[in-house]
Amino acid sequence: MTIKEMEEQIDKLNLEKLEVKMKKGRQVHFFICGDPESYDEDCGIGNLIVFDEKGRAWTLAKQKWEKGGSFDVHFGKNTGVLFLKGFKMSRYPNLDLAEERGK
């Protein structure tokens, strides 16, 4: 998916866009977002949501995040599981983004 396709849907979910990791050809590899409703300003901890290249949502609860930071995100070798900052993420299908039809 492209940044434009993802941003429009992420805005509707009211998530804070933190970082985008790109692939070749203007395609998103990972789009890292924070859930502002879960964010505790006193300790800087909230839920992180990562969308993969297919728009599938993954979540990791109670992580420290702020705008401008960089996140280490990758799929585990031969597992199909996403890791963020070394922690295994969980799928969150309720937030999956829809790919534009006809592409």
Q: Using alpha carbons, list the distances in angstroms from residue 25 to 28, 52, 88, 103.
A: 9, 15, 28, 14
Helices (H) and strands (E) in the chain, counts: 1, 8
Tokens coding 73: 């995100």
Give, for all 103 residues of the chain, the pLDDT tens digit.
999 999 999 999 999 999 999 988 788 999 999 999 998 888 888 999 999 999 999 999 998 887 777 899 999 888 889 999 899 999 999 999 997 654 4
pTM for the structure as a whole = 0.89
Tokens coding 29: 């590899």
